[in-house]
Chains A and B, each alone.
Chain A
Amino acid sequence: MRILVVSMDASGGDLAWRLQEEGNEVKTYIHKKAHQKHYDGILENKIKDWEKELHWVGKKGLIVFDYSGMGEIQDSLRKKGYNVVGGCRIGDLLEGNRKFGQRIFSQVGMEIEASRTFYCIDEAIDFIRRNPAAWVIKQNGQLDKDLNYVGKLEDGRDTIAVLELYKKILPKTFVNLDLQKRIDGVEIGVGRYFNGKDWVGPIEFNIEHKSLFPGGLGPKTYEMGTIMWYSDNEKNKLYQATTARMKKFLQNIGFIGDFEINCIVSKDHIFPLEATTRFGYPALQLQAQFHQSPWGEFLLALARGKKYDLKWKKGMGIINLVAAPPFPYHAREPRQSSEGMEVIIDPKTFKHKRKNIHLEEVYQSKKDGKLYVSSEQGYVLHVSSVKDTLFEARAEVLEIIKDITIPKMFFRNDIGAKFLNEEKPKLKKWGYI
Chain B
Amino acid sequence: MKKSKRTIEQDKFSVEILDHNSKRVVDELVCLEEKCFPLEMRNPSSDDYYSAVLNDPKNISLLLKYKGKVVGFLVAKEYKRVYDSLSNHDPDLRENKKRLFYVDLIQIHPRFKINGGLSLLVSKLIEKALEKDLQGFCLHARKKNGLSQFLQKIFDCKRLHSIDNWLGFGEQFDYLEFAINKKIVKKIIGKLNPIHALN
Interface of A toward B, CB cutoff 8 Å: 90, 93, 97-104, 106-108, 112-120, 123, 127, 130-131, 181, 246, 248-249, 252-253
Quick check: B44 and A117 within 8 Å, CB to CB?
no
Binds A, one of B56-64, B72-80, B87-95: B87-95
Identify which of B45, B49, B88, B168 contacts A114 (C-beta below 8 A): B88
Quick check: B45 and A249 within 8 Å, CB to CB?
yes
Produce 1/0 per residue, B46-72, CB < 8 A to A. Answer: 000100000000000000000000000
Is B167 close to A, CB under 8 A?
yes
Identify which of B43, B88, B163, B165 contacts A107 (C-beta below 8 A): B43
Beyond A106-B85, A108-B44, A252-B44, whether A130 also contacts B92 by CB under 8 A is yes
Contacts of A103 in B (CB 8 A): 89, 167-168
Contacts of B146 in A (CB 8 A): none
* Cα distance, A64 to B51, chains bound together (Å): 39
Contacts of A131 in B (CB 8 A): 91-92
24 sample A-B contacts, Cβ–Cβ < 8 Å, listed by A number: A90-B39, A90-B40, A97-B170, A98-B168, A100-B167, A100-B170, A101-B168, A102-B89, A102-B168, A103-B89, A104-B44, A104-B168, A106-B85, A106-B88, A107-B43, A107-B45, A108-B45, A114-B91, A115-B91, A116-B164, A118-B164, A123-B164, A181-B91, A252-B44
Quick check: B164 and A117 within 8 Å, CB to CB?
yes
Quick check: A97 and B168 within 8 Å, CB to CB?
yes
A140 to chain B, nearest CB (A): 8
* Cα distance, A115 to B170, chains bound together (Å): 15
B160 to chain A, nearest CB (A): 13
* Cα distance, A106 to B49, chains bound together (Å): 12
Contacts of B91 in A (CB 8 A): 114-116, 127, 131, 181
* Cα distance, A197 to B40, chains bound together (Å): 18
* Cα distance, A113 to B45, chains bound together (Å): 21
User: Which residues of chain B (152-168) have a CB below 8 Å from chain A?
Assistant: 163-168
* Cα distance, A108 to B167, chains bound together (Å): 14
B98 to chain A, nearest CB (A): 22
A138 to chain B, nearest CB (A): 12
* Cα distance, A35 to B140, chains bound together (Å): 44
Contacts of A248 in B (CB 8 A): 44-45
Contacts of B168 in A (CB 8 A): 93, 97-104, 117
B7 to chain A, nearest CB (A): 36
Identify which of B40, B45, B85, B163 contacts A100 (C-beta below 8 A): B40
Residue picked from A98, A107, A108, most chain B C-beta under 10 Å: A107
* Cα distance, A101 to B42, chains bound together (Å): 13
Contacts of B42 in A (CB 8 A): 252
| CB closest residue in chain A, given B90 | A116
Beyond A112-B88, A127-B92, whether A93 also contacts B40 by CB under 8 A is yes
Quick check: A107 and B49 within 8 Å, CB to CB?
yes
Quick check: A249 and B40 within 8 Å, CB to CB?
no
* Cα distance, A117 to B92, chains bound together (Å): 12
Quick check: A99 and B165 within 8 Å, CB to CB?
yes
* Cα distance, A97 to B89, chains bound together (Å): 13
| CB closest residue in chain A, given B44 | A249
Residue picked from A103, A119, A248, most chain B C-beta under 10 Å: A103
A234 to chain B, nearest CB (A): 19
Contacts of B169 in A (CB 8 A): 100
Residue picked from B90, B166, B168, B170, most chain A C-beta under 10 Å: B168
Contacts of A119 in B (CB 8 A): 164-165
Contacts of B44 in A (CB 8 A): 104, 107-108, 246, 248-249, 252
* Cα distance, A181 to B165, chains bound together (Å): 17
A142 to chain B, nearest CB (A): 15
Identify which of A93, A113, A120, A252 contacts B88 (C-beta below 8 A): A113
**6 shortest interchain CB distances as A-B pairs:** A100-B168, A117-B165, A99-B168, A249-B44, A103-B167, A114-B91
Residue picked from B44, B85, B166, B168, most chain A C-beta under 10 Å: B44
B140 to chain A, nearest CB (A): 12
| CB closest residue in chain B, given A253 | B39
Quick check: A114 and B87 within 8 Å, CB to CB?
yes
Known A106-B88, A181-B91; further 16 A-B contacts with Cβ < 8 A: A90-B39, A100-B40, A100-B170, A103-B167, A104-B44, A106-B85, A106-B89, A108-B45, A114-B89, A114-B91, A115-B89, A115-B91, A116-B91, A117-B164, A117-B168, A119-B165
* Cα distance, A181 to B87, chains bound together (Å): 12
* Cα distance, A117 to B162, chains bound together (Å): 11
Produce 1/0 per residue, B77-121, CB < 8 A to A. Answer: 000000001011111100000000000000000000000000000
| CB closest residue in chain A, given B166 | A99
* Cα distance, A99 to B40, chains bound together (Å): 12
Identify which of B39, B85, B89, B92 contacts A99 (C-beta below 8 A): B89
Contacts of A249 in B (CB 8 A): 44-45
Beyond A97-B170, A100-B168, A107-B49, whether A115 also contacts B88 by CB under 8 A is yes
* Cα distance, A408 to B197, chains bound together (Å): 78
Beyond A98-B168, A100-B168, A130-B92, whether A116 also contacts B45 by CB under 8 A is no
* Cα distance, A98 to B170, chains bound together (Å): 11
* Cα distance, A143 to B196, chains bound together (Å): 50
Contacts of B49 in A (CB 8 A): 107
* Cα distance, A102 to B42, chains bound together (Å): 14
Contacts of B164 in A (CB 8 A): 116-120, 123
Contacts of A118 in B (CB 8 A): 164
B108 to chain A, nearest CB (A): 21
| CB closest residue in chain A, given B42 | A252
Contacts of A253 in B (CB 8 A): 39
